[in-house]
Amino acid sequence: MSNTNQTFTKKVENEIKNIKNASWSIKIFIFIFTIGFIFVSFNETFRIPNLKDKINSLKEDISTKNSQIQLLETKLVPFKIFALKEYTGSEQEALTKLANNLNKLENELKKMGQQNIYKPLSEHIRSQVIENLKNIKNNIKLV
């Protein structure tokens, strides 16, 4: 029986060591879990006011954008009135027609500018004109 007792004693001692090792693992796990929980709670505590500030900032941005939209709508009124008088269709269609005609007009003006309708005088012609004007001036003084 002494052999059986020794074997049993060794088994009990091994189990106690396993429990102690497991106990340390559990303690480490609980410690890490607690630190993690504290970190998350701490982070959330400071995050909520930041989110409130962000929400307030976004509300201010929306208010500013709404004011800008109202200003642009006010500036657009004369164009809407003109478009509705001149073109048929809905407001959107009339504004589209007006925009298309303005684009055509702009392109025509650009083409006219590229045609060099008014060219500066060449240096030779310019000098002749100046000389002729001087001659005319001198002739007027003599008379």
Per-residue pLDDT 10s for the chain (143 aa) are 566 666 767 776 777 676 666 666 677 777 777 777 777 666 666 666 677 888 899 999 999 999 999 999 999 999 899 899 999 999 999 999 999 999 998 988 888 777 766 667 788 888 888 888 887 777 675 44
What's the confidence (pLDDT) of residue 70? 95
What's the confidence (pLDDT) of residue 143? 44
What's the confidence (pLDDT) of residue 93? 93
Distance CA 94, CA 87 (A): 5
Distance CA 82, CA 97 (A): 11
What's the confidence (pLDDT) of residue 4? 65
pTM to 2 decimals? 0.43
Q: Measuring CA to CA, how many Å separate 26 from each of 32, 33, 56? A: 10, 10, 45
Q: In the structure, how many helices (H) and strands (E) does the chain have? A: 3, 0
Encode 102-140: b = buried (16+ Cβ within 10 Å), e = exposed: eeeeeeeeeeeeeeeeeeeeeeeeeeeeeeeeeeeeeee
